[in-house]
């Protein structure tokens, strides 16, 4: 199963991933792994828009590979989900 197929299994359609990519922005970079976390909005229905997070790998000079796509955990991310909640100091 490809990674895009996995995302589709999770309930996203290819059009949702494409829309999120075209309207998204990089929110975290992982240069050692040649990966980036991208967040972008997508419309699931006429009244429902959500932000998808997806990890892209850019090790290849020509192609970008999508590692995973998911809807963020609201407990870990601010709204809109471009930054993680700050950890409380203990």
The confidence band for 9, taking pLDDT boundaries of 50, 70 and 90, is low
Residue pair 1/9 in contact by the 8 Å Cβ criterion: yes
CA separation for the pair 56, 46 (Å, rounded):
28
The answer to whether residue 28 sits within a structural domain is yes
What's the structural domain count of the chain?
Answer: 1
The pLDDT value recorded for residue 6 is: 55
Give the length of the chain.
Answer: 90
Q: Which domain holds residue 63?
A: 3-71
The CA-atom distances, in angstroms, between 68 and each of 9, 28, 36, 72, 90 are 12, 14, 11, 12, 32
Question: What average pLDDT does range 53-69 have in this prediction?
Answer: 88
Q: What pLDDT score was predicted for residue 38?
A: 92
Residue 12 placed within a domain: yes
């Amino acid at each position: 199963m490809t990674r895009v197929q996995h995302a589709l299994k999770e309930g996203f359609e290819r059009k949702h991933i494409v829309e999120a990519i075209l309207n998204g922005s990089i929110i975290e970079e992982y240069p050692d792994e040649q990966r980036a976390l991208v967040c972008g909005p997508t419309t699931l229905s006429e009244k429902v828009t959500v932000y998808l997070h997806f990890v892209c790998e850019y090790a290849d000079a020509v192609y970008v590979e999508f590692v995973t796509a998911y809807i963020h955990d609201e407990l870990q991310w601010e709204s809109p989900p471009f930054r993680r909640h700050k950890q409380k100091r203990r």
